[in-house]
Every structure is written in structure tokens, then in C-alpha cells.
């Protein structure tokens, strides 16, 4: 497939808008359409209401945004998530990517329902929890994950001080690049801890709501992923020795 991706992103506010802005800034060659589906969706709309909501959203999708490689759902209400399978099918999406940065928006049970409906429609899907845990995926999602998802960085270290940070793959919200710019000058002992802290103060878009399956909230997991990425680099730079925080 072409290196350029065509992405149609469905958002409901600042959460999705900021992610799309960051992706656009680092991959300007990708075709990315942003569709604001609005807010105020009932949690459990009946079939007739759901059909009306679906029609209203489809009318907002321009011709150029049809048949995307990825339908990216950056939603903030569980009721809006129910539109996902039908909407993806109607616009001819090749795949669906729905990050879960807030457990309340897509609980595990709803994820199973949505993924089964998408599978029946022949549309591969991925629900990374949180978005910055994405490392691979089917088809176009795998190509997306080469650039955005689980943090991967390279450090230039001199005399146990971080001299430069290169982001190989960054969190879709931009927190990895934010943290990288602030790690320069820090000691290698403190760099992993600071990476996790900087991600949370970005601010991280993940919520404090715990996922009962793993017993952890998404914002805490996001910080751990950033910390682990830097820790791995520090260990490599120090000849396999792990950093010891002061």
C-alpha cells in the first residue's frame, strides 16, 4: 500500500481535536479529515433514534473523506460509540481504530460488541488501551503504528547526562515529543521518572478511571509506557545497567 494514509477521524471535542492536530503536524502528507459528530448522545439510544443520529453524522462526511484507510474514532460518549460499526461500513472504511483512553466511553463489554459487529462487516479493528499502547495492528493500522503509538526513543548520553532525545514513535496526543524536549539536560538516573511525570503533566488525555481487567487507570499506564521507553534507552547507553534513581 502507499505510504500515505487516508484517515477519517470522528471527534466530539478537544480530546480528539488535539490528537488529530498532532498527527497532521508530523505526517502532513497523510490525508486526514476531521468530522465533529457533536455531543449529547444518549447512553442507550433506541434503534430509531440511533438511525437518526447515524444519518446526521453521515451527512457531515464529505466525498473526499469516504473510503478511508482508517476510520479513527476519538469519541467522548459511549452512546456515540454505538454508531461505529454502521458508520464505518457506510463510509467504506478499510479498518477501524478506536483508542480507549477513558474506560467509561468504551467498557470491555461494549468493545466486544463493537469488534464482533465490525468483524461481521468484514472490517478489521483495533482498540488500544490507552492509545499510546498501540504497537501493531491489521492492515493500515499497522502502518499507522509505525509512527504513532507506544513510545520509542533514542537518547544521546554524555557523562550520565541526556544530551539529545530522538522520538522514533510517539504517543498520538503529542506527549512523547513534549517529554523528549524537556528531558535534555537531565541525569540518566532521573530521566525515566521525569519522562513519566512529563507525560502526565502534558497533560495526558487518558483518564483516571480504572480498567477492572488490569486494575490500573489509563493515565498511570501512559506514564509507565513513557518511563519504560526511556529506561530501555538509558540501560542501553549504560552498557546494560539499569539506572538507579537518586
Number of domains making up the chain? 2
How many of the other CB atoms lie within 10 Å of CB of 244?
8
- Residue-by-residue DSSP string for 133-167: G----STHHHHHTTTBSS-EEEEEEETTEEEEEEE
Question: What's the pLDDT at 2?
Answer: 44
Same domain, 130 and 55: yes
CATH of the domain at 161: 3.90.1010
Same domain, 47 and 68: yes
Where is the domain boundary, 144, 169, 195? 144
CATH of the domain at 99: 3.40.50
H/E element, 96: strand 96-97
Query: Which tens digit of pLDDT belongs to each residue from 22-55?
Result: 999 999 999 999 999 999 888 887 778 888 889 9
242: confidence class by pLDDT, cuts 50, 70, 90 = low
pTM given for the model: 0.93
Query: Which tens digit of pLDDT belongs to each residue from 136-184?
Result: 999 999 999 999 999 999 999 999 999 999 999 999 999 999 999 999 9
Same domain, 109 and 202: no
Domain span at residue 217 reads 152-237
pLDDT at 231 over 90: yes
User: CA 22, CA 7: separation in Å to the nearest integer?
Assistant: 14
Same domain, 174 and 80: no
Query: Which tens digit of pLDDT belongs to each residue from 201-223?
Result: 998 888 988 888 888 999 999 99
Least Cα distance to 134 among 70, 197, 181 occurs for 70
Query: Which tens digit of pLDDT belongs to each residue from 112-142?
Result: 999 999 999 999 999 999 999 999 999 999 9
Please report, to the nearest 10 degrees, the dihedral formed by the alpha carbons of residues 19, 129, 82, 21 taken in order.
0
**Domain membership flag for residue 245:** no
Residues 6+ apart with CB under 8 A from 150: 132, 133, 134, 135, 169, 225, 229
User: CA 72, CA 26: separation in Å to the nearest integer?
Assistant: 17
Amino acid at each position: 500500500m502507499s505510504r500515505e494514509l487516508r484517515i477519517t477521524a470522528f471527534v466530539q471535542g478537544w480530546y480528539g481535536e488535539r490528537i488529530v492536530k498532532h498527527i497532521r503536524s508530523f505526517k502532513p502528507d497523510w490525508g486526514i479529515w476531521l468530522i465533529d459528530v457533536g455531543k449529547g448522545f444518549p447512553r442507550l439510544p433506541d434503534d430509531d433514534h440511533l438511525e437518526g443520529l447515524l444519518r446526521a453524522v453521515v451527512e457531515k462526511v464529505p466525498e473526499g473523506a469516504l473510503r478511508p484507510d482508517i476510520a479513527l474514532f476519538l469519541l467522548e460518549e459511549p452512546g456515540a460509540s454505538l454508531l461505529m460499526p454502521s458508520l464505518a461500513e457506510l463510509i467504506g472504511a478499510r479498518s477501524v481504530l478506536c483508542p480507549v483512553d477513558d474506560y467509561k466511553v468504551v467498557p470491555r463489554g461494549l468493545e466486544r460488541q463493537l469488534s464482533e459487529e465490525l468483524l461481521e462487516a468484514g472490517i478489521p479493528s483495533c482498540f488500544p488501551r490507552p492509545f499510546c499502547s498501540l504497537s501493531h495492528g491489521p492492515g493500515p493500522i499497522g502502518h499507522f503504528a509505525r509512527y504513532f503509538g507506544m513510545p520509542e526513543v533514542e537518547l544521546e548520553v554524555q557523562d550520565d547526562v541526556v544530551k539529545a532525545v530522538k522520538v522514533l514513535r510517539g504517543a498520538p496526543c503529542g506527549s512523547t515529543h513534549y517529554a523528549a524536549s524537556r528531558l535534555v539536560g537531565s541525569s540518566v538516573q532521573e530521566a525515566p521518572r521525569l519522562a513519566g511525570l512529563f507525560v502526565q503533566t502534558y497533560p495526558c488525555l487518558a483518564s483516571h478511571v480504572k480498567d477492572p481487567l488490569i486494575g490500573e487507570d489509563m493515565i498511570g499506564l501512559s506514564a509507565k509506557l513513557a518511563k519504560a521507553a526511556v529506561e530501555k534507552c538509558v540501560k542501553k547507553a549504560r552498557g546494560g545497567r539499569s539506572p538507579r534513581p537518586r
